[in-house]
Amino acid sequence: MPYILNTSKDIEQMLKVIGVSSVEELYRDIPSSIRLKGSLSLREGLSEFEVKKEIEALSRKNTPLNRFNSFLGAGCYDHYVPAAVDAILASSSFLTAYTPYQAECSQGSLEAIYEYQSFICGLTGMDVSNASLFDGASALAEAVLMSLRVTGRKKILIHGLHPQYRKTLDTYLSGLEFLVEEVPSDKDGFIDKKTLKESLNDEVACFAFASPNFFGLVEDVQSFTSYLKSKGVLGVMVANPLSLAMFNAPAVLGIDIVCGDGQPLGGRLNFGGPAFGLLAAKGQYLRHMPGRIIGKTQDKDGNPAYCLTLQTREQHIRRQKATSNICSNHSLNAIGAAIYLSLMGKKGLESVSLSCFNNAQYLYQRLEEVRGIKIPYGRRFFNEFVWEVEEAASVMEKLRNKNIIAGYYLGNDFPEFKNRILSCCIETKSKEDIDNFIQELAEVLHG
Protein backbone atom coordinates (compact mmCIF):
# COMPACT_ATOMS: atom_id res chain seq x y z
CA MET A 1 0.00 0.00 0.00
CA PRO A 2 1.41 3.44 -0.96
CA TYR A 3 2.33 5.77 1.88
CA ILE A 4 0.10 8.88 2.04
CA LEU A 5 1.14 12.14 3.70
CA ASN A 6 -1.66 12.92 6.12
CA THR A 7 -0.20 14.70 9.12
CA SER A 8 1.62 17.98 9.68
CA LYS A 9 4.58 15.96 10.93
CA ASP A 10 4.76 14.08 7.63
CA ILE A 11 4.70 17.34 5.69
CA GLU A 12 7.41 18.89 7.89
CA GLN A 13 9.61 15.84 7.32
CA MET A 14 9.07 16.01 3.57
CA LEU A 15 9.97 19.71 3.47
CA LYS A 16 13.10 19.05 5.52
CA VAL A 17 14.25 16.34 3.09
CA ILE A 18 13.59 18.62 0.11
CA GLY A 19 15.44 21.48 1.79
CA VAL A 20 12.75 24.14 2.10
CA SER A 21 11.20 25.66 5.19
CA SER A 22 7.56 25.84 4.09
CA VAL A 23 5.08 24.80 1.43
CA GLU A 24 4.98 28.45 0.33
CA GLU A 25 8.73 28.36 -0.34
CA LEU A 26 8.29 25.13 -2.30
CA TYR A 27 6.13 26.98 -4.82
CA ARG A 28 8.16 30.20 -4.90
CA ASP A 29 8.94 29.84 -8.63
CA ILE A 30 5.24 30.07 -9.52
CA PRO A 31 4.19 33.74 -9.96
CA SER A 32 1.99 34.93 -7.09
CA SER A 33 -0.51 36.37 -9.58
CA ILE A 34 -1.58 32.85 -10.67
CA ARG A 35 -1.28 31.09 -7.32
CA LEU A 36 -4.36 30.04 -5.41
CA LYS A 37 -5.06 32.33 -2.47
CA GLY A 38 -7.03 30.49 0.19
CA SER A 39 -8.71 27.11 0.05
CA LEU A 40 -10.50 25.55 -2.89
CA SER A 41 -14.21 26.40 -2.94
CA LEU A 42 -15.37 22.79 -2.90
CA ARG A 43 -18.04 21.27 -0.69
CA GLU A 44 -17.15 17.98 0.91
CA GLY A 45 -18.94 14.68 0.45
CA LEU A 46 -20.51 15.32 -2.96
CA SER A 47 -21.88 12.40 -4.93
CA GLU A 48 -20.84 11.74 -8.52
CA PHE A 49 -24.12 13.21 -9.76
CA GLU A 50 -23.69 16.35 -7.61
CA VAL A 51 -20.10 16.82 -8.78
CA LYS A 52 -21.24 16.59 -12.40
CA LYS A 53 -23.91 19.26 -11.85
CA GLU A 54 -21.40 21.55 -10.14
CA ILE A 55 -18.84 21.18 -12.92
CA GLU A 56 -21.49 21.84 -15.57
CA ALA A 57 -22.48 25.02 -13.74
CA LEU A 58 -18.85 26.14 -13.70
CA SER A 59 -18.45 25.36 -17.40
CA ARG A 60 -21.36 27.65 -18.25
CA LYS A 61 -19.28 30.58 -17.03
CA ASN A 62 -17.14 30.12 -20.16
CA THR A 63 -18.51 31.71 -23.33
CA PRO A 64 -17.59 29.65 -26.41
CA LEU A 65 -16.02 31.49 -29.32
CA ASN A 66 -18.96 30.75 -31.61
CA ARG A 67 -21.07 33.10 -29.47
CA PHE A 68 -18.87 36.00 -30.61
CA ASN A 69 -18.32 37.73 -33.92
CA SER A 70 -14.57 37.31 -33.61
CA PHE A 71 -11.78 38.96 -35.60
CA LEU A 72 -9.00 37.60 -33.41
CA GLY A 73 -6.01 35.97 -35.10
CA ALA A 74 -2.39 36.71 -34.17
CA GLY A 75 -1.19 33.14 -34.68
CA CYS A 76 -4.31 31.06 -33.96
CA TYR A 77 -7.15 31.04 -36.49
CA ASP A 78 -10.74 29.80 -36.43
CA HIS A 79 -10.75 28.25 -39.91
CA TYR A 80 -13.44 25.85 -41.03
CA VAL A 81 -12.42 22.23 -40.49
CA PRO A 82 -14.26 19.63 -42.60
CA ALA A 83 -16.07 17.07 -40.44
CA ALA A 84 -14.18 14.28 -42.18
CA VAL A 85 -10.89 15.46 -40.61
CA ASP A 86 -11.99 14.62 -37.08
CA ALA A 87 -13.77 11.44 -38.20
CA ILE A 88 -10.64 10.04 -39.84
CA LEU A 89 -8.29 11.29 -37.13
CA ALA A 90 -10.42 9.59 -34.48
CA SER A 91 -9.48 6.18 -35.87
CA SER A 92 -7.69 4.22 -33.15
CA SER A 93 -4.90 3.56 -35.67
CA PHE A 94 -4.00 7.24 -35.35
CA LEU A 95 -5.53 8.39 -32.09
CA THR A 96 -4.00 5.77 -29.79
CA ALA A 97 -0.76 5.20 -31.68
CA TYR A 98 2.49 6.05 -29.94
CA THR A 99 5.87 6.85 -31.48
CA PRO A 100 6.43 4.35 -34.32
CA TYR A 101 9.67 2.85 -33.00
CA GLN A 102 8.86 -0.55 -34.52
CA ALA A 103 8.46 0.19 -38.21
CA GLU A 104 7.11 -3.26 -39.06
CA CYS A 105 4.16 -2.68 -36.70
CA SER A 106 3.59 0.98 -37.63
CA GLN A 107 3.32 1.10 -41.41
CA GLY A 108 0.00 2.97 -41.38
CA SER A 109 1.23 5.73 -39.06
CA LEU A 110 4.54 6.00 -40.89
CA GLU A 111 2.80 6.29 -44.25
CA ALA A 112 0.48 9.02 -42.90
CA ILE A 113 3.45 10.99 -41.54
CA TYR A 114 5.32 10.49 -44.82
CA GLU A 115 2.30 11.96 -46.64
CA TYR A 116 2.39 14.92 -44.24
CA GLN A 117 6.06 15.54 -45.05
CA SER A 118 5.27 15.36 -48.77
CA PHE A 119 2.48 17.93 -48.42
CA ILE A 120 4.74 20.35 -46.52
CA CYS A 121 7.46 20.00 -49.16
CA GLY A 122 4.84 20.69 -51.82
CA LEU A 123 3.65 23.85 -50.05
CA THR A 124 7.09 25.25 -49.28
CA GLY A 125 8.99 24.00 -52.35
CA MET A 126 11.66 22.61 -50.02
CA ASP A 127 13.42 19.26 -50.48
CA VAL A 128 12.81 17.79 -47.05
CA SER A 129 10.45 18.18 -44.10
CA ASN A 130 10.72 16.65 -40.65
CA ALA A 131 7.82 14.87 -38.95
CA SER A 132 6.69 17.96 -37.04
CA LEU A 133 7.70 19.79 -33.87
CA PHE A 134 5.87 21.06 -30.78
CA ASP A 135 4.58 24.38 -32.18
CA GLY A 136 5.52 27.32 -34.39
CA ALA A 137 7.65 29.03 -31.75
CA SER A 138 9.81 25.95 -31.08
CA ALA A 139 10.02 25.33 -34.85
CA LEU A 140 11.53 28.81 -35.27
CA ALA A 141 14.02 28.18 -32.45
CA GLU A 142 15.03 24.84 -33.97
CA ALA A 143 15.42 26.46 -37.41
CA VAL A 144 17.74 29.09 -35.92
CA LEU A 145 19.75 26.40 -34.11
CA MET A 146 20.03 24.59 -37.47
CA SER A 147 21.51 27.72 -39.05
CA LEU A 148 24.03 28.05 -36.21
CA ARG A 149 25.15 24.44 -36.74
CA VAL A 150 25.38 24.85 -40.51
CA THR A 151 27.35 28.10 -40.52
CA GLY A 152 29.29 27.90 -37.25
CA ARG A 153 28.54 31.59 -36.72
CA LYS A 154 27.29 33.41 -33.61
CA LYS A 155 24.91 36.19 -34.69
CA ILE A 156 21.20 36.08 -35.58
CA LEU A 157 19.21 38.83 -37.27
CA ILE A 158 15.43 38.84 -36.81
CA HIS A 159 12.42 40.84 -37.98
CA GLY A 160 8.62 40.79 -37.67
CA LEU A 161 8.35 37.78 -35.36
CA HIS A 162 5.41 36.98 -33.10
CA PRO A 163 6.35 38.29 -29.60
CA GLN A 164 5.91 34.80 -28.14
CA TYR A 165 8.18 33.34 -30.82
CA ARG A 166 10.83 35.88 -29.86
CA LYS A 167 10.54 34.93 -26.18
CA THR A 168 10.84 31.23 -27.04
CA LEU A 169 13.91 31.91 -29.17
CA ASP A 170 15.52 33.84 -26.29
CA THR A 171 14.80 30.91 -23.95
CA TYR A 172 16.38 28.39 -26.32
CA LEU A 173 19.49 30.55 -26.69
CA SER A 174 19.81 31.56 -23.04
CA GLY A 175 23.12 30.52 -21.55
CA LEU A 176 24.75 30.34 -24.97
CA GLU A 177 27.06 32.91 -26.49
CA PHE A 178 24.86 34.00 -29.37
CA LEU A 179 23.81 37.54 -30.25
CA VAL A 180 20.27 38.31 -31.45
CA GLU A 181 19.77 41.63 -33.22
CA GLU A 182 16.49 43.03 -34.52
CA VAL A 183 16.33 44.66 -37.95
CA PRO A 184 13.94 47.66 -37.76
CA SER A 185 10.93 48.30 -39.95
CA ASP A 186 10.70 51.03 -42.55
CA LYS A 187 7.90 53.62 -42.49
CA ASP A 188 5.53 51.19 -44.22
CA GLY A 189 6.04 48.38 -41.70
CA PHE A 190 8.27 46.21 -43.88
CA ILE A 191 11.90 45.16 -43.40
CA ASP A 192 14.26 48.13 -43.62
CA LYS A 193 16.39 46.69 -46.42
CA LYS A 194 19.10 49.34 -46.10
CA THR A 195 19.69 48.46 -42.45
CA LEU A 196 19.50 44.75 -43.23
CA LYS A 197 22.18 45.07 -45.88
CA GLU A 198 24.43 47.06 -43.56
CA SER A 199 23.96 44.49 -40.76
CA LEU A 200 25.08 41.50 -42.83
CA ASN A 201 28.63 40.33 -42.27
CA ASP A 202 30.70 37.17 -41.75
CA GLU A 203 29.42 36.81 -38.16
CA VAL A 204 25.73 36.46 -39.10
CA ALA A 205 24.38 32.91 -39.25
CA CYS A 206 20.84 33.65 -40.41
CA PHE A 207 18.17 36.23 -40.95
CA ALA A 208 14.96 34.92 -39.34
CA PHE A 209 11.85 36.82 -40.37
CA ALA A 210 8.11 36.29 -40.74
CA SER A 211 6.09 36.80 -43.90
CA PRO A 212 3.30 37.59 -43.36
CA ASN A 213 4.91 39.30 -40.39
CA PHE A 214 3.22 39.68 -37.00
CA PHE A 215 1.40 42.78 -38.25
CA GLY A 216 0.06 40.83 -41.24
CA LEU A 217 2.28 42.41 -43.91
CA VAL A 218 3.69 40.28 -46.74
CA GLU A 219 7.37 41.00 -47.37
CA ASP A 220 8.99 41.34 -50.80
CA VAL A 221 11.27 38.41 -49.96
CA GLN A 222 12.95 38.03 -53.32
CA SER A 223 14.25 41.61 -53.11
CA PHE A 224 16.69 40.84 -50.29
CA THR A 225 17.62 37.14 -50.48
CA SER A 226 20.51 37.99 -52.81
CA TYR A 227 22.00 40.09 -49.97
CA LEU A 228 21.92 37.02 -47.73
CA LYS A 229 23.53 34.73 -50.32
CA SER A 230 26.37 37.17 -50.92
CA LYS A 231 27.35 36.95 -47.24
CA GLY A 232 26.71 33.23 -46.74
CA VAL A 233 23.75 34.01 -44.45
CA LEU A 234 20.84 31.55 -44.33
CA GLY A 235 17.31 32.82 -44.88
CA VAL A 236 14.88 31.45 -42.26
CA MET A 237 11.26 32.28 -43.03
CA VAL A 238 8.32 31.90 -40.64
CA ALA A 239 5.26 31.37 -42.82
CA ASN A 240 1.54 30.92 -42.40
CA PRO A 241 1.17 27.63 -44.32
CA LEU A 242 -2.24 28.61 -45.67
CA SER A 243 -0.75 31.72 -47.29
CA LEU A 244 1.58 29.51 -49.31
CA ALA A 245 -1.39 28.38 -51.40
CA MET A 246 -1.60 31.95 -52.69
CA PHE A 247 1.97 33.28 -52.73
CA ASN A 248 5.20 31.98 -54.24
CA ALA A 249 6.79 29.05 -52.45
CA PRO A 250 9.68 30.11 -50.16
CA ALA A 251 12.11 27.92 -52.14
CA VAL A 252 11.37 29.97 -55.26
CA LEU A 253 12.15 33.14 -53.29
CA GLY A 254 15.62 31.90 -52.29
CA ILE A 255 14.83 30.81 -48.70
CA ASP A 256 16.90 28.05 -47.04
CA ILE A 257 14.69 26.99 -44.11
CA VAL A 258 10.93 27.40 -43.64
CA CYS A 259 9.13 27.04 -40.32
CA GLY A 260 5.81 27.96 -38.80
CA ASP A 261 2.75 26.76 -36.96
CA GLY A 262 0.52 24.17 -38.61
CA GLN A 263 -2.64 25.16 -36.71
CA PRO A 264 -4.26 26.78 -39.81
CA LEU A 265 -4.16 23.38 -41.55
CA GLY A 266 -7.19 21.71 -40.02
CA GLY A 267 -6.44 22.66 -36.42
CA ARG A 268 -9.02 23.95 -33.98
CA LEU A 269 -8.52 26.62 -31.33
CA ASN A 270 -9.29 24.62 -28.16
CA PHE A 271 -8.12 27.36 -25.76
CA GLY A 272 -5.09 28.03 -27.97
CA GLY A 273 -3.96 24.53 -28.92
CA PRO A 274 -2.67 22.02 -29.46
CA ALA A 275 -0.95 22.82 -32.73
CA PHE A 276 2.27 21.56 -34.28
CA GLY A 277 5.46 23.07 -35.63
CA LEU A 278 6.39 22.59 -39.27
CA LEU A 279 9.98 22.70 -40.46
CA ALA A 280 11.29 22.20 -44.01
CA ALA A 281 14.65 22.89 -45.59
CA LYS A 282 16.88 22.41 -48.59
CA GLY A 283 18.26 18.90 -48.98
CA GLN A 284 21.82 19.94 -48.18
CA TYR A 285 20.76 20.68 -44.57
CA LEU A 286 19.09 17.32 -44.02
CA ARG A 287 21.59 16.08 -41.43
CA HIS A 288 21.18 19.23 -39.38
CA MET A 289 17.40 18.90 -39.00
CA PRO A 290 15.96 18.05 -35.57
CA GLY A 291 13.34 15.43 -34.80
CA ARG A 292 12.53 12.53 -37.09
CA ILE A 293 12.18 12.08 -40.81
CA ILE A 294 10.13 9.27 -42.35
CA GLY A 295 11.44 7.65 -45.50
CA LYS A 296 9.97 5.34 -48.13
CA THR A 297 11.84 2.22 -49.18
CA GLN A 298 11.13 -1.43 -50.11
CA ASP A 299 10.95 -4.58 -48.05
CA LYS A 300 12.76 -7.80 -48.99
CA ASP A 301 9.87 -8.75 -51.31
CA GLY A 302 9.98 -5.44 -53.16
CA ASN A 303 6.84 -4.01 -51.57
CA PRO A 304 6.67 -0.34 -50.50
CA ALA A 305 7.78 0.10 -46.89
CA TYR A 306 8.09 3.08 -44.58
CA CYS A 307 10.74 3.59 -41.93
CA LEU A 308 12.31 6.09 -39.55
CA THR A 309 15.06 7.26 -41.90
CA LEU A 310 16.64 9.84 -39.59
CA GLN A 311 15.93 10.28 -35.88
CA THR A 312 18.46 12.63 -34.40
CA ARG A 313 17.02 13.04 -30.91
CA GLU A 314 18.81 12.13 -27.72
CA GLN A 315 16.61 9.02 -27.43
CA HIS A 316 18.26 7.56 -30.51
CA ILE A 317 21.77 9.00 -30.46
CA ARG A 318 24.38 10.15 -27.98
CA ARG A 319 23.11 13.28 -26.24
CA GLN A 320 26.04 15.42 -27.36
CA LYS A 321 25.38 14.42 -30.98
CA ALA A 322 21.62 15.06 -30.92
CA THR A 323 20.26 17.95 -32.99
CA SER A 324 17.45 18.42 -30.49
CA ASN A 325 16.59 17.34 -26.98
CA ILE A 326 12.93 18.26 -27.31
CA CYS A 327 10.82 15.17 -27.90
CA SER A 328 7.27 16.50 -28.24
CA ASN A 329 6.38 16.63 -31.92
CA HIS A 330 2.56 16.45 -32.05
CA SER A 331 2.43 13.81 -34.79
CA LEU A 332 -1.34 13.40 -34.41
CA ASN A 333 -1.84 17.07 -35.31
CA ALA A 334 0.54 16.71 -38.25
CA ILE A 335 -1.47 13.74 -39.50
CA GLY A 336 -4.59 15.88 -39.06
CA ALA A 337 -2.98 18.48 -41.34
CA ALA A 338 -2.24 15.79 -43.93
CA ILE A 339 -5.91 14.71 -43.82
CA TYR A 340 -7.05 18.34 -44.16
CA LEU A 341 -4.71 18.98 -47.11
CA SER A 342 -5.73 15.79 -48.89
CA LEU A 343 -9.43 16.62 -48.49
CA MET A 344 -9.03 20.23 -49.62
CA GLY A 345 -6.78 19.54 -52.57
CA LYS A 346 -4.91 22.23 -54.48
CA LYS A 347 -8.01 24.07 -55.68
CA GLY A 348 -9.74 23.94 -52.30
CA LEU A 349 -6.68 25.29 -50.53
CA GLU A 350 -6.32 28.10 -53.07
CA SER A 351 -10.00 28.94 -52.62
CA VAL A 352 -9.71 29.19 -48.83
CA SER A 353 -6.55 31.29 -49.10
CA LEU A 354 -8.15 33.68 -51.60
CA SER A 355 -11.30 33.98 -49.47
CA CYS A 356 -9.17 34.99 -46.48
CA PHE A 357 -7.40 37.61 -48.56
CA ASN A 358 -10.60 39.03 -50.06
CA ASN A 359 -12.47 39.18 -46.74
CA ALA A 360 -9.56 40.93 -45.04
CA GLN A 361 -9.40 43.46 -47.89
CA TYR A 362 -13.13 44.14 -47.50
CA LEU A 363 -12.74 44.68 -43.75
CA TYR A 364 -9.85 47.09 -44.44
CA GLN A 365 -12.05 49.02 -46.89
CA ARG A 366 -14.94 49.25 -44.43
CA LEU A 367 -12.68 50.40 -41.57
CA GLU A 368 -11.40 53.22 -43.78
CA GLU A 369 -14.99 54.54 -43.88
CA VAL A 370 -15.26 54.88 -40.08
CA ARG A 371 -14.49 58.35 -38.72
CA GLY A 372 -11.73 58.21 -36.10
CA ILE A 373 -10.03 55.12 -37.52
CA LYS A 374 -6.49 55.30 -38.87
CA ILE A 375 -4.75 52.50 -40.77
CA PRO A 376 -0.97 52.92 -40.51
CA TYR A 377 0.11 50.47 -43.22
CA GLY A 378 -0.88 49.64 -46.78
CA ARG A 379 -2.90 46.77 -48.25
CA ARG A 380 -0.09 44.28 -48.87
CA PHE A 381 -1.26 41.76 -46.30
CA PHE A 382 -2.78 38.28 -46.26
CA ASN A 383 -5.53 37.76 -43.68
CA GLU A 384 -4.88 40.34 -40.94
CA PHE A 385 -3.77 43.94 -40.56
CA VAL A 386 -3.28 46.74 -38.02
CA TRP A 387 -5.64 49.66 -37.40
CA GLU A 388 -5.59 52.47 -34.88
CA VAL A 389 -8.20 54.14 -32.70
CA GLU A 390 -8.03 56.37 -29.61
CA GLU A 391 -8.39 54.46 -26.34
CA ALA A 392 -8.20 51.15 -28.21
CA ALA A 393 -8.43 48.96 -25.08
CA SER A 394 -11.64 50.69 -24.01
CA VAL A 395 -13.13 50.41 -27.50
CA MET A 396 -12.35 46.70 -27.54
CA GLU A 397 -14.03 46.19 -24.17
CA LYS A 398 -17.18 48.00 -25.32
CA LEU A 399 -17.30 45.86 -28.47
CA ARG A 400 -16.81 42.73 -26.41
CA ASN A 401 -19.90 43.67 -24.42
CA LYS A 402 -21.68 43.56 -27.78
CA ASN A 403 -20.28 40.05 -28.42
CA ILE A 404 -17.65 41.28 -30.86
CA ILE A 405 -13.95 40.48 -30.45
CA ALA A 406 -12.25 43.24 -32.43
CA GLY A 407 -8.86 41.56 -32.61
CA TYR A 408 -5.57 41.41 -30.72
CA TYR A 409 -4.61 44.41 -28.61
CA LEU A 410 -1.04 45.34 -29.55
CA GLY A 411 -0.50 47.50 -26.47
CA ASN A 412 0.08 44.33 -24.41
CA ASP A 413 3.32 43.61 -26.28
CA PHE A 414 4.24 46.98 -27.78
CA PRO A 415 3.82 49.97 -25.40
CA GLU A 416 4.32 52.34 -28.31
CA PHE A 417 1.22 50.84 -30.00
CA LYS A 418 -1.27 51.33 -27.15
CA ASN A 419 -3.93 52.51 -29.63
CA ARG A 420 -3.44 49.76 -32.21
CA ILE A 421 -5.40 46.56 -32.86
CA LEU A 422 -4.48 43.61 -35.06
CA SER A 423 -7.64 42.28 -36.73
CA CYS A 424 -7.99 39.05 -38.69
CA CYS A 425 -10.65 38.23 -41.27
CA ILE A 426 -10.70 34.71 -42.70
CA GLU A 427 -12.92 32.53 -44.89
CA THR A 428 -15.44 31.90 -42.11
CA LYS A 429 -16.41 35.58 -41.94
CA SER A 430 -19.45 36.60 -44.00
CA LYS A 431 -20.20 40.04 -45.40
CA GLU A 432 -22.90 40.33 -42.71
CA ASP A 433 -20.33 39.57 -39.97
CA ILE A 434 -18.02 42.30 -41.24
CA ASP A 435 -20.79 44.87 -41.73
CA ASN A 436 -22.10 44.15 -38.22
CA PHE A 437 -18.62 44.77 -36.79
CA ILE A 438 -18.33 48.10 -38.61
CA GLN A 439 -21.83 49.19 -37.58
CA GLU A 440 -21.24 48.40 -33.91
CA LEU A 441 -17.78 50.02 -33.98
CA ALA A 442 -19.23 53.23 -35.42
CA GLU A 443 -21.91 53.22 -32.71
CA VAL A 444 -19.29 52.77 -29.97
CA LEU A 445 -17.22 55.65 -31.34
CA HIS A 446 -19.98 58.09 -32.29
CA GLY A 447 -23.19 56.87 -30.62
pLDDT digits (tens, 9 = 90+) for 267-309: 999 877 789 999 999 999 998 998 888 999 999 999 999 988 8
Is residue 224 a part of any domain in this protein? yes
List all residues 6 or more positions away from 197 whose beta carbon is below 8 Å from its beta carbon. Answer: 224, 227
CATH code of the domain in which 224 resides? 3.40.640.10
Same domain as 101, residue 181:
yes
pLDDT at 6 over 60: no
381-403 residue pLDDT tens = 999 999 999 999 999 999 999 99
322 pLDDT above the threshold of 90: no
Domain of residue 111: give its range: 83-341
Residues 296, 383 within the same domain: no
- For residues 209 and 298, membership in a common domain is answered with yes
Calculate mean pLDDT across residues 33-37.
84
Could you tell me how far CA 153 lies from the centroid of its own chain?
27
Asked whether residue 131 carries a pLDDT value surpassing 90, the answer given is no
Each residue's pLDDT tens digit, 155-196: 999 999 999 999 999 999 988 889 999 999 999 999 999 999
* Whether residue 74 sits in one domain with residue 115: no
pLDDT bucket at 325, cuts 50 / 70 / 90? low
Dihedral Cα 384, 381, 393, 373, nearest 10 deg: -120
Instruction: Answer whether residue 54 is part of any domain.
Output: no
48 domain-assigned: no
Domain containing 440 — which CATH number? Answer: 3.90.1150.10
Q: What is the DSSP letter of 420?
A: E
Secondary structure, 3-state, 272-321 = HCCCCEEEEECHHHHHHCCCEEEEEEECCCCCEEEEEEEECECCCCCHHH
Asked if the structure places residue 23 within a domain, the reply is no
Do 289 and 361 share a domain, yes or no? Answer: no
Considering only residues 97 and 115, tell me which one the structure prediction assigns the higher pLDDT: 115
**Of 52-66, 95-109, 123-137, 252-266, the least confident:** 95-109
The band of 46, judged by pLDDT with boundaries at 50, 70 and 90, is confident
Q: How confident is the model at residue 32 (pLDDT cuts 50, 70, 90)?
A: confident
pLDDT per position as a tens digit, 205-228: 999 999 999 999 999 999 999 999
36 falls within a domain: no
* Mean per-residue pLDDT, 88-116: 87
pLDDT in the model for residue 37: 81
- Say how many domains are in the chain: 2
Q: Is the pLDDT of residue 318 over 70?
A: no
- Assess whether 240 and 302 both reside in one domain: yes
What pLDDT is recorded for position 1?
43
User: Do strands 404-405 and 69-70 pair parallel, antiparallel, or not at all (unpaired)?
Assistant: parallel
